[in-house]
Amino acid sequence: MGRSRFAKACEFAAGRREWSPDEEKFRQRVEDAYPILRRTAVNGDTITYTELADSIETNRRMYLSCILDAISYLEALDGNPPLTAVVVRSTTGYPSEGMVELVEELELPYDADNLDSEEMTEEMIRDVHDYWRQNPVE
């Protein structure tokens, strides 16, 4: 991941949360999360926020949100569906409401005006599974 590209993702994530992470530690957590999310998508699964946080060794909710925001930003730059849609709440099986806001902010091609949030997230999760099954990364 190129430094300037990552710096932009870090800036985007920090700006959404009014937070300034330690860039090297943050970068490592993003790099740790990516293969977990890709594997989850290729397998057609979801992962809970808690499972992901435990896997990348962070228990700070805002920190995890920033990591997911940065990954969403990077995926949007590449024109990919939002990989972070596979991260869900254990109680609902859906991403948090912040995912819908992020989709709108990144201007992703999901119709928030004509779909409720569950329909939209189901569509995103299907798109992510389909994309990563067709484009697995080792």
Instruction: Summarize pLDDT for 25-51 with one digit per residue, the tens.
Output: 888 989 999 999 999 999 999 999 999
Nearest to 41 by CA among 129, 126, 135, 130: 129
Count H helices, E strands: the chain?
6, 2
Residue with tokens 């992962």: 47
Mean pLDDT of the chain: 87
Q: If you compute the radius of gyration of the chain from its CA atoms, what whole number of angstroms results?
A: 14
Per-residue pLDDT, 20: 65
Per-residue pLDDT, 2: 59
All residues at 6 or more sequence positions from 82 whose CB lies less than 8 Å from its CB, including other chains: 72, 75, 76, 99, 102, 103, 106, 108, 124, 128
Give this prediction's pTM. Answer: 0.89
